[in-house]
Amino acid sequence: MSTGGSLEKAHIEFLSGKNEGEKMMCAFNPQEYRLKKSVGYSEHKTLLNVPITQFTSGVADRLSMELFFDTTQEKKDVRSEYIDKLDSLLAVDGELHAPPKCRFVWGGGLDFEAILLEADKRFTKFRSDGVPVRAWVDVTFEEYKKPTQQKSTIKHESTDKMKIWTVSEEDTLWLIAAEEYGDTAHWRTIAQANNIENPRDLEAGMRLSIPPL
């Protein structure tokens, strides 16, 4: 990840809280990083042999890596130089009443807006007085997007007129909502339109009104 032959330095930018706008430069770039993408599913038991697997929700991407910090030459405490600043991303900020948001940036190849989930630290070198001057930190970031950002990137499609759905034995309101609206959370829309108090009280042959969103 270099431009014009110069080495791009990875850094963590504080996006909110008392350190907003500050950048924590990584003196040593990570040797590798891992990006994990997944979605949420649940299983609903039916009379069939195999349970129905149903999408439940999206799951935020996770970025993980090992960071290396060393102040051997300066003989300074690696905690006060680097680790304390990193730990502040896990502490509740007085202005936010929550830990601050951040971005991990490495040149033009990685720009990850997130919250820091965990930092597992190992101190491996010390001064004669026991003060650590070298640390390895396994960090995990979880992607963060404001609701307005998510809405701008996701196009939800729905019916544009009232439809009728005839219930079969394996149907649930969640499955019907996923089929018609692409989102299981809209089962309540169907329940309200049909005066259903208990979403599990569906019988084969029932005719449900599927309203437009």
Would you state the pLDDT for residue 94? 87
User: 106 and 27, same structural domain?
Assistant: yes
Largest CA distance in the chain: 80
User: 71 and 166, same structural domain?
Assistant: no
Residue position matching structure tokens 């509740």? 92
The residue among 127, 151, 175 that closes a domain is: 151
Q: Which domain holds residue 189?
A: 156-210
User: 87 and 103, same structural domain?
Assistant: yes
Task: Give how many domains the chain has, as a whole number.
Answer: 2
**Long-range contacts made by residues 35-40, C-beta under 8 angstroms, separation at least 24?**
35/61, 35/62, 35/63, 36/61, 36/62, 36/63, 36/64, 37/61
Would you state the pLDDT for residue 132? 97
CATH label of the domain that carries residue 171: 3.10.350.10
The rounded distance, in Å, linking the Cα atoms of 202 and 191 is: 10
User: 122 and 66, same structural domain?
Assistant: yes
DSSP string, 41-80: EEEE--SSSSPEEEEEEE---EEEEEEEEE-TTTT--HII
Q: In 3D, which of 109, 120, 93 has the Cα closest to residue 101?
A: 93
pLDDT < 50 positions in the chain: 1-4, 158
User: 168 and 92, same structural domain?
Assistant: no
The residue among 132, 151, 170 that closes a domain is: 151
User: 71 and 9, same structural domain?
Assistant: yes
Q: Phi and psi at residue 59, in whole multiples of 5°? A: -125, 135
Residues 105-161 pLDDT 10s: 998 899 999 999 999 999 999 999 999 999 999 999 999 976 555 555 555 554 557
80: left (phi over 0), alpha (psi -120 to 50) or beta: alpha
The rounded distance, in Å, linking the Cα atoms of 109 and 1 is: 6
SS3 184: helix
Q: Is the pTM of this model over 0.85?
A: no
Spatial CB neighbours of 195, under 8 Å, sequence gap ≥ 6? none
Would you state the pLDDT for residue 3? 43
